[in-house]
Amino acid sequence: MRLVADHISKRYESGGIEDLSFLIEPESFTLVKGESGVGKTTLLNVITGCLHPDCGAVYIDGREIYTQMKRHERTALLQHKIGYMMQGISLIPSMSVYDNILYPYKLNNTACKDITDRIDEIFEELGIANIKQSTPARISAGEYRRVLLAGVLCKRPQVLIADEPTSNLDEKTADLVRQTLYDYVSANNSVIVATHDYKFADADRIIHLSNQKDDVKGVY
């Protein structure tokens, strides 16, 4: 999947993003870097169809997502092509973390052994198999972040987008998450990570956000 941001801006009194253009192609790893409050999450929300920009355009496979797609089409993108690991609380409190991940597949009548096997495998890879029957309130903040990542990985999205995926993680677990995201890049998949984690260093493209001037470095 090919994603193009064309001179996008989203302004707030306290900041935002200004006139950003870049290209995300398959088999690429992109970092969005900058201190807290400079617009990293705003940028991710704009390119995923969650937040309409003040100006500019976002194209996915040649279609502008705000003018050429209806709202349900943008929702379908997040369900099938884009996996977005957001910050914040998004798990259903009354369900186990395992059932939280399985729930969307039950809603769509696509839950099957292949899906449950995939969830089990990813929980093992991320070191959270021991908490899969726990409710969100009974797990740590770091475990919560890994459950959210597991939910995104289970979808096998063409573009995986993660907002501060290593926050609240100890160093060993953070290394595991970083490697999992780097390994996800393939001929059909790309990864975008917003972070101020300096150990995310290797990337095909780095988008630096600041309160002074935004900058994009990489191959176009």
**Length of the chain (residues):** 220
Query: Long-range CB contacts (< 8 A, 24+ apart) of 144-147?
Result: 144/91, 144/168, 145/169, 145/177, 146/173, 146/177, 147/91, 147/97, 147/100, 147/101
| Range 3-218 classified under CATH 3.40.50.300 | yes
pTM: predicted TM-score of the whole model, two decimal places: 0.91
pLDDT value for 214: 52
Dist CA 46 CA 23 (whole Å): 14
pLDDT, tens digit, 9 for 90 and up, residues 170-190: 999 999 999 999 999 986 899
pLDDT value for 88: 81
Q: Is 10 helix (H, G, I), strand (E, B) or coil?
A: strand
**Residue 162 Cα to chain centre, angstroms:** 3
Q: Are 31 and 55 within 8 A, CB to CB? A: no
Dist CA 25 CA 210 (whole Å): 24
pLDDT value for 213: 57
The partner residues of 31 in beta bridges, in order of sequence, read 193, 206
Tens place of pLDDT per residue across the chain (220 aa)? 899 999 999 998 777 899 999 999 999 999 999 888 889 999 999 999 999 999 999 999 999 999 999 999 998 888 889 999 998 878 999 999 999 999 988 888 887 888 999 999 999 999 999 999 999 999 999 999 999 999 999 999 999 999 999 988 999 999 999 999 999 998 689 999 999 888 998 999 999 998 765 555 443 3
pLDDT, tens digit, 9 for 90 and up, residues 55-93: 999 999 999 999 999 999 998 888 889 999 998 878 999
DSSP structure class, residue 218:
E
Supply the DSSP string of 18-43, one letter for each residue. Answer: EEEEEEE-SS-EEEEE--TTSSHHHH
Token code pair at residue 15: 């900041």
Q: In angstroms, how far is the first alpha carbon of the chain from the final one?
A: 15
Boundaries of every domain in the chain? 3-218
